[in-house]
Amino acid sequence: MLYYLFDYLEKEYQLPGASLFGFISFRAVMAILFSLVIATVYGKKVILLLQRKQIGESIRDLGLQGQEQKAGTPTMGGLIIIMATLIPVLLFADILNVYVILLIVTTLWMGVIGFIDDYIKIFKKDKKGLKGKFKILGQVVLGLIVGATLYFHPQVTMRDHDKSIITKQYEVEHVKGMDIKSTRTTVPFIKNNEFDYGNLIAWAGEGAKDYVWLIFIPMIILIVTAVSNGANLTDGIDGLAAGTSAIIVFTLGIFTWVSGNIIFSDYLDIMYITGVGELLVFVTAFVGALVGFLWYNAFPATVFMGDTGSLTIGGVIAVIAIIIRKELLIPVLCGIFFAESISVMLQVGYFKYTKKKLGEGKRIFLMAPLHHHYQKRGYHESKIVTRFWIVGIMLAIITVVTLKIR
């Protein structure tokens, strides 16, 4: 692993980036460059391989403009994203870091679930793919693994706040915060912006804190499942999921950088999470992979990511947000995913309700998810994607602003 080579050279010869965080930043830059090269150069080879194997998308007739031209476009392009992410991570990241391990497991786990789904659709000629209950089961198991690791693993700690105490001699003494186990998270837009999941069962007495995991882990499962499915629903037109996800992950990269830097985290009064700086290498590699994939996925797409990509993207985004304790920002930052999911739930729920009450199902949208509604209204998919990206950028700015506005 090049990580150990760089680590040795830096310590032996005092290379630029003498601080640990400077060293991390250098490796993060290398990771994004490598992932971009892998996704753009070798991505083309993967696309040609998919074409030779006739691994093409079978298109359902939804009555959408330009739909017929997409038939036969190679799918399973999520393999490009996974490859372009993991290779730089294995080269430049400390793979013994618990957070890096969690994200590698997430990438492979969700990638396998998505691959099985795409395989069934393409080779078994079953357009439904993997049954929904098995997808949900896979997401729940991943959420269980992530939640249990973050709660029980001894290396998952955060720095407690510095305190000032008055000694017996009536002198003020400043005490540095210690690394502690905690289930605190960040609540946006309020002054005292930290919330402890333990407060939800504090009413049960002092001993109840030993059972916080009964709330914490199910919450993690819910977040992983929701974001993964949201990304999956967003992947409906060329470049939408990849571009939106790149904006989201870049924003999470800013929070990762700040949360892993003790100086900036102290200045901005946010949680300093021990060891999370190493996550920056994974995040930058993931951004590079998404941007490189977008080169081929932008309209008109020469490859689709399939569930191999969309489920992986959603799972990784959820786990990054959870690790850096910014999961409660997801409804804002991942607003596009949220809107797509809500549109489907409203459409299905309203249709079933009106069919039961009136005997005939009615719809709120012309078609769900939301991007198909705008297609039905006659908007070209390039315009839809561009405007969704703009909204995504606006949401990202609002999310970053929460660092100081409370």
Contact 294, 81 (CB under 8 A): no
Binding residues: 232, 307
Q: Which pLDDT value is given to residue 164? A: 42
pLDDT at 192 over 80: no
Q: How confident is the model at residue 174 (pLDDT cuts 50, 70, 90)?
A: very low
Binding residues for Mg(2+): 232, 307
Q: At 165, phi and psi to the nearest 5?
A: -125, 160
Q: What is the pLDDT of residues 90-139, one digit of tens each?
A: 999 999 999 999 999 999 999 999 999 999 988 888 878 899 899 999 99
Q: What is the pLDDT of residues 23-56, one digit of tens each?
A: 567 888 899 999 999 999 999 999 999 888 877 7
Please name which of 177, 248, 246, 230 lies closest in space to residue 341, comparing C-alpha atoms. Answer: 230
Contact 157, 178 (CB under 8 A): no
Q: Which pLDDT value is given to residue 17? A: 43
User: Which conformational region is residue 341 in: left (phi greater than 0), alpha (psi within -120 to 50 degrees), or beta?
Assistant: alpha
Distant-in-sequence, close-in-space partners of 5: CB < 8 Å, separation ≥ 6: none
Q: Which pLDDT value is given to residue 163? A: 47
Q: Which pLDDT value is given to residue 173? A: 45
| Mean pLDDT in residue range 81-97 | 95
| Mean pLDDT in residue range 235-253 | 96
Q: What is the pLDDT of residues 214-240, one digit of tens each?
A: 999 999 999 999 999 999 999 989 999
Among 8-22, 262-276, 337-351, the minimum mean pLDDT is found in: 8-22
Please name which of 196, 176, 153, 160 lies closest in space to residue 325, comparing C-alpha atoms. Answer: 196
Q: Would strands 163-166 and 158-159 be described as parallel, antiparallel, or unpaired?
A: unpaired
Give the burial class of 45: count Cβ atoms within 10 A of its Cβ; 0-12 exposed, 13-18 middle, 19 or more buried: exposed
Could you give the dihedral angle defined by the CA atoms of residues 225, 287, 249 and 337, in that order, rounded to the nearest 10 degrees? -50
Distant-in-sequence, close-in-space partners of 251: CB < 8 Å, separation ≥ 6: 333, 396, 399, 400
pLDDT at 331 over 70: yes
Mean pLDDT of the chain: 87
Q: Which amino acid is present at 278?
A: E
Q: 21 or 309: which carries more pLDDT confidence?
A: 309
Distant-in-sequence, close-in-space partners of 284: CB < 8 Å, separation ≥ 6: 28, 29, 31, 32, 35, 253
Q: Which pLDDT value is given to residue 236? A: 86
Determine the distance from the C-alpha atom of residue 86 to the mean position of all C-alpha atoms in its chain, rounded to a whole number: 15
| Mean pLDDT in residue range 258-285 | 88
- For residue 287, the tally of other CB atoms under 10 A from its CB is 25
Return d(Cα 248, Cα 254) in angstroms, integer: 10
Total number of residues shown for the chain: 406
Q: How confident is the model at residue 188 (pLDDT cuts 50, 70, 90)?
A: confident
